[in-house]
Amino acid sequence: MRVLVIGGGRNAEHEVSLASAAAVADALRVRGHEVRTATVSPDGVWDAARDGSPAESLAAAMPALAWADVVFPAVHGAFGEDGALAALCALAGAAVVGSDLRAGAIGMDKWATKLVAEAAGITTAPGYVIGAADIGDVEFEGPVVVKPVSAGSSYGVGLVREPGELLDALRTAAQYDRRILIEQVMRGREIDVAVLKEAGGVRWAAPPLEIHTAGLFDTATKYDGSATFTVPAALTSAEAGVLTRTAVAMFDALGCAGVARMDFFLTDDGPVLNEVNTMPGLTAASQVPRMFAAAEVPYPELVDRLVRAAAAAGPAR
């Protein structure tokens, strides 16, 4: 098939997205697809017209959308994973890999995700949202995790142990979003579960992965190599079963498609959903491909399955 792979994006995850897009494009060529690429700069300019404005460059990129049988938007974070590119593809009548506008937008919003999880009977950490303008009014009430409501790769996330750390953490989060989520610290093992929706609609979860880190699994830890992963995670059959069922239930509650990664804390009381990634990192070394490799689905086959599922589903209706 003819596949347009989009990378980059106007957000803090630009470089990570470039790596995902390059890996996806190479793997799809290995599987025999005809691949073109498009890159969006940190300023929102598409490489179809590098000297134009974002609007002019987008207009220049539209023939590539029309050429493609399937669009693979490997753009993490805002203006990509949040449903923006899925909406563009829907308007253009293009089949797109991954979740649609609604699932992407809700999954990117950590507060909205918590509300959906609660309605689906899935536990999340107790927390609340404040506006960036109100950060000076927040009182320290014990150890908390501070997060931008909509940001990925843990940008702006901070663990606050002492009262004097709170304001700086809130200011850091406010650099990434005007809404800030303050959550109670969860004590438990960090377990990720990846769910794939195949052509025909069957959903299944790969073997869970456990994250091992000395402290908070923040942006630096994610990319400096200090964190290690165990896949499959060392779980009892009961633990693996409840994590898998909960991940698929959350996938369905959001209306996800393609692949999504559900991040959990496995506590003494069961799994607690941390967050959802509807366009997770997709280099061969990323967490999701590692999980599917453990299920004997090699990386090129995984991205091929994503393209074929998108083609089977067709353009959004």
CATH number attached to the domain at 2-97: 3.40.50.20
Tokens 């134009």 found at: 52
DSSP strand pairing (2-8 vs 70-73): parallel
Task: Indicate where the chain has its CATH 3.30.470.20 domain(s).
Answer: 105-123+187-313
pLDDT of residue 307: 98
Over the stretch 160-182, which tens digit does the pLDDT of each residue have? 999 999 999 999 999 999 999 99
- The CATH number for 127-184, chosen from 3.30.1950.10, 3.40.30.10, 3.30.1490.20, 3.40.50.150, is 3.30.1490.20
Q: Considering only 6-10, 135-139, 190-194, 196-200, which range has the smallest mean pLDDT?
A: 135-139
Query: Which residue type, as a one-letter code, is found at position 167?
Result: L
pLDDT above 70 (res 315): yes
pLDDT for 187 equals 92
In this prediction, residue 316 has a pLDDT band, given cuts at 50, 70 and 90, of: confident
Please name the CATH architecture into which domain 105-123+187-313 falls.
2-Layer Sandwich (3.30)
Look at residue 216 in the predicted model and tell me its pLDDT: 62
Q: Per the structure block, which two tokens stand in for 15?
A: 């470089």
Q: Tens of pLDDT along 190-208?
A: 999 999 999 999 999 999 9
Share of the chain above pLDDT 70, in %: 96
- Give the model confidence (pLDDT) of 210-234 as tens digits: 999 876 655 556 555 677 899 999 9
Cα four-point dihedral sign 168, 227, 7, 306: negative
Instruction: List every span in the chain annotated with CATH 3.30.1490.20.
Output: 127-184
Each residue's pLDDT tens digit, 33-86: 999 999 999 999 999 999 999 999 999 999 999 999 999 999 999 999 999 999
Q: Could you tell me the pTM of the whole model?
A: 0.93
> Is pLDDT above 90 for 152?
no
State the Rg of the chain over Cα. Answer: 19
Every domain of the chain with CATH number 3.40.50.20 lies at 2-97
